[in-house]
Amino acid sequence: MTHIPPTQEAVDYLLLTPGPLSTTASVRAAMLQDSCTWDADYNLGVVEPIRRELVRLATSPEFANDYSAVLLQGSGSYVVESVLGSALGADDCVLIVNNGAYGARMVEMAQCLGLNHRVLDCGETARPEVQDLEELLIRHPEISHLAMVHCETTTGMLNPLEQVASLCQRHGIRLILDAMSSFGGIPFDIGQLGVEFLISSANKCIQGVPGFGFVIARRAALAACAGKARSVSLDLHAQWQTMEQQGGKWRFTSPTHTVLAFAQALRELDEEGGVSARYQRYQENQHTLVAGMQALGFEPLLPKEWQSPIITAFYSPTHPDYRFVDFYQRLKAQGFVIYPGKVSKADCFRIGNIGNVTPQQIQQLLAAIQQASYWLEANA
């Protein structure tokens, strides 16, 4: 007899998290079908159009032929590890920008994979200064690649992509961009910026469900990964070659239902008006949130000019009765799920603005937060 309890009746919580996030009912409904991974309906009919659409979203037509998309099983970190482990040769050296948990994770991967690497540690609440990066490049001519997170989800910090990309172009450095939580939600053109590898995943701003990630990379850069991988299943070149040569076939079992949901999510992104329209909505969510939170006495961790529209970190109330878990449970009881903090040196909590979430729902969240602020005199 099984000891697995029956699935609870579904509750439609609004997930105000950096992913998995709230998806539309139509994205979830797209999963109600089984697909055969050998069949053309799936590979040529679903996977290949997704790969082309990802390139189209990432760059303008003049650069599109230079780029190719590879999908890979696992969460976003698997794909980051696949790129680092496949792109860097024994003589290469990667400079990793670290200003949060995801930058730190890339450092951990470089250590584990035995990659030559240098780190610019900025601290979690500062942005990398281009001058500091340039000094490192000059001092260490062995540096061949630079890896940076675009939106550091730890704090919601938006790193200076344009400046760093232009620095890389001036110095002939290959740029690896973890755009996990920004791709699809913030417009930028990787061809124009000269990004070699962009990494993102299904369950962030494209608003799909979790199960795979993807790389949009220069074809020449993918070709140069041949024979370099430190792992069989995370061999980016092998995965790319299988998809290229066998019409969208995945090397190992494909997360078929997740892929169907992703195809639907891409259609819905287009229907919304594309990346710029989605960006507008996220911005409006974020501005509504911050204005409302400030009116309730909460302060954001970051200065406005560094803040992304993706997720916002707020200082925890200093009242002695405040406990995150109690606050969290009271919000959850009202249908809203928020996120704990991840900054090591400041007590924070985070609220995401991405997913199938509207400014009206942010207003409802603000009303719920006021009610859930049990430590306030007015609510005593």
Ligand X SMILES: *Cc1c(COP(=O)(O)O)cnc(C)c1O
Binding-site ranges for ligand X (CB under 6 A): 18-19, 75-77, 102, 149, 153, 178, 180-181, 201
Structure tokens at 365: 């969240």
Residue 320: φ, ψ to 5°: -60, -25
Non-local (6+) Cβ contacts of 146 within 8 A are 94, 95, 96, 97, 133, 164, 168, 173, 174, 175, 176
Compute the least distance from the CB of residue 149 to ligand X, in Å: 5
Which residue's C-beta sits nearest to ligand X? 76
**DSSP run (H or E) holding 262:** helix 256-272
**Cβ distance to ligand X smaller for residue 106 or 229:** 106
Compute the least distance from the CB of residue 150 to ligand X, in Å: 7
Compute the least distance from the CB of residue 108 to ligand X, in Å: 12
Structure tokens at 310: 């993706």
Compute the least distance from the CB of residue 111 to ligand X, in Å: 17
Non-local (6+) Cβ contacts of 182 within 8 A are 150, 151, 158, 188, 200, 205, 308, 310
**Cβ distance to ligand X smaller for residue 42 or 262:** 262
Q: What share of the chain is helix, strand, coil (3-state, %, to 5)?
A: 45, 15, 40
Compute the least distance from the CB of residue 179 to ligand X, in Å: 8
The amino acid at residue 173 is I
**Could you tell me which residues are beta bridge partners of residue 212?**
73
Compute the least distance from the CB of residue 77 to ligand X, in Å: 3
**Cβ distance to ligand X smaller for residue 239 or 373:** 239
HEC letters along 294-323: HHCCCCECCCHHHECCCEEEEECCCCCCCC
**Cβ distance to ligand X smaller for residue 117 or 204:** 204
**Cβ distance to ligand X smaller for residue 210 or 317:** 210
CA triple 70-150-87, angle to 5 deg: 40
Distance of CA 105 to the CA centre of its chain: 13
**Cβ distance to ligand X smaller for residue 43 or 356:** 356
**Cβ distance to ligand X smaller for residue 155 or 264:** 155
**DSSP run (H or E) holding 119:** strand 117-121
Compute the least distance from the CB of residue 28 to ligand X, in Å: 19
